[in-house]
Amino acid sequence: MIGLIKDIFYLLIILLAALTGFSKWNILSKAFKTLSVLLLTTFLFETAALICAYVFKNNALVYNIFAPVELLFFTYIFADLFKEKVTANIIKAAGILIAFFIIIASVFVLRGRMINTLSIIIKSTFFIIVSLLKFREMLGDPEHENIVREPVFWLCTAVLLFFTINILFWSSYDYLGQTKSKIMGSFFDILYYSNLVFYTMLWYSFVVIKYNQRQHNIVNG
Amino acid sequence: MDKPVIYILITGTIILILLAFFIVGFIVEYRRRRKMFLAEKNEMQNKFEHEQLRSRLEIQEQTFNHISQEIHDNIGQVLSLVRLQINTLGEHLSEEKINITDDLLGKAIKDLRNLSHTLSTDRIKELGIFEFIKQSLIPLEKSGNYKIVFTADSENFTVNNESALIIYRIIQEVLNNILKHAKATEIFINLKSTQNKNHIIIRDNGKGFEKSIINTSEGIGLKNIMARAKLIGATLNVSSAQGCGTTIEIII
């Protein structure tokens, strides 16, 4: 029962983040509009995953479908955030390549029945690099008066933290799953809370978007 | 708990602590760079205002020189002639002499009116940059030493008054360089606009110069032009070679 409440709470946080995004739709930049759509998609996938977990006791298939979708969304979001067109194009190309790899691995190797941990690690590494590059770009052009009030800062921080924890978790998942199944519960708790923190940060990135930012978006296309 | 699990936990904790330090470090560094960025911006603004003031003073000085020359060479001469005419009138009033005197006085009045226009400090605002440049080229053309071709895309080439003043000073500086060093007979000036960018192209058929000269004391004029261009966010392209003339392009 507690597990179900935790899952529903988690879904509500994602839904809240998505709705906050949609409520500010008119003043959002292209990247954050895409993020709103991604959050709604995430909500739908996570709901499907929850139902599959309770009904079929296996939701790997849902996550195997969701992984490339999420990857492509985030690739598009980050490519749009970069001012340098070359970097944006490299990110797009790399994102599509990794998505292709994930699909091949999920469909032909794991047949959709198991969690594709290698793909998750590759995807996480990719987003850690991309978020660090964005941090670097922000340092090179300190145009914002208060960086902590900038949505891009919260998006990058969320991505960096979440995907780092993802790497730590999934790189030890196979070992712990096979030998120390008793402590896996605690590790899943860490993953659960890191997910909560991630979506809360994404929600906050929408909260800090000011209405006067519209002008900024229009000016910057 | 087993050793591998402890290792995993310790590694994870260390990495997360490092990430937290990274985020805090980023915010601190960002704020430091922001301060530097603002200081640089202020400095640029100050430089721009200083340059604007200097340009105004230079134009004012040129205007005064022009007025002094006009009074001495033109109006003074005309009025002297009027005086001579009046002195030679005597008792018999000749209609011809009166007409000549009248014409001379009319010319003096016209010249004075022109001079009063020249005195206006906001002439660039009144005339617009194209007309202002055109008028400043007239004496150069009148000298007979140069063939000057001035073309401008007045529909698309738009700049604010502050930048217009600096652009005018840049063109003047380039022309000074041509007069002093180039030994040119033809000067082409073109103001055009393409893809949201303004281009000012000044070309001469003079002796040209080696690009290495830019970094020497002889290249001070060009350095001034570069400094002025930087103030209005413009870039400067110089193409020249010995005996092949010079083309200077300013892109805003």
Segment B169-207, tens digit of pLDDT: 888 888 888 888 888 888 999 998 887 788 999 999 888
Q: Which residues of chain A does B6 touch, with a Cβ-Cβ cutoff of 8 Å? A: none
B interface with A, Cβ–Cβ below 8 Å? 1-2, 4-5, 8, 11-12, 15-16, 19, 22-23, 26-27, 29-31, 33-34, 36-37
What is the DSSP secondary-structure string of B149-168? EEEE-TTT----HHHHHHHH
Structure tokens at A118: 């290698």
**Cα–Cα distance list, A127 to A69, A71, A155, B169 (Å):** 14, 9, 11, 50
Name the pairing type of β-strands B147-152 and B186-194: parallel
| pLDDT above 90: percentage of residues in chain A | 52
Tell me the sheet residues that pair with B250. B200, B236
Highest mean pLDDT among A34-43, A205-214, B97-106, B198-207: A34-43
Interface test with B, best of A168, A174, A201 (most B CBs within 10 A): A168
| Nearest chain B CA: its distance from A140 CA (Å) | 8
Task: Give the model's pLDDT for residue A2.
Answer: 75
| Nearest chain A CA: its distance from B191 CA (Å) | 26
**DSSP H or E run through B135:** helix B129-142
**Which string of b and e fits B99-123 if b means at least 16 CB within 10 Å?**
eebeebeebbeebeeebeeeeeeeb
- Given a contact cutoff of 8 angstroms between Cβ atoms, the answer to whether B204 and B182 are in contact is yes
Mean pLDDT calculated for residue range B53-77: 76
Please give the ipTM for the structure prediction. 0.84
A213 interfacial to chain B (CB closer than 8 Å):
no
Are the Cβ atoms of A147 and B27 closer than 8 angstroms?
Answer: yes
Segment A144-191, tens digit of pLDDT: 888 988 999 999 999 999 999 999 888 887 777 766 666 777 788 888
Task: Give the model's pLDDT for residue B167.
Answer: 85
Phi, psi of B121 (to 5 degrees): -75, -25
- Given a contact cutoff of 8 angstroms between Cβ atoms, the answer to whether B153 and B192 are in contact is yes
CA B223 to chain centre: 13
Residue B102 vs residue B63, higher pLDDT:
B102
Task: Give the model's pLDDT for residue A215.
Answer: 43
Ordered strands of the B186-194 beta sheet: B147-152, B186-194, B197-204, B246-251, B235-240
Residue A196 pLDDT greater than 80, yes or no: yes
Q: Which residues of chain A does B19 touch, with a Cβ-Cβ cutoff of 8 Å? A: 160-161, 164
Are the Cβ atoms of B2 and A168 closer than 8 angstroms?
Answer: no
Task: Give the model's pLDDT for residue B238.
Answer: 86
Q: pTM above 0.80?
A: no
Residue A219 pLDDT greater than 60, yes or no: no
**Distance from the first to the final alpha carbon of chain A:** 48
Q: How many CB atoms lie within 10 A of CB B63?
A: 16
- B202: helix, coil or strand? strand
Which chain A residue has its CA at the smallest distance from B19's CA?
A161
Task: Give the model's pLDDT for residue B122.
Answer: 65
Segment A10-62, tens digit of pLDDT: 999 999 999 999 999 988 999 999 999 999 999 999 999 999 888 888 888 88
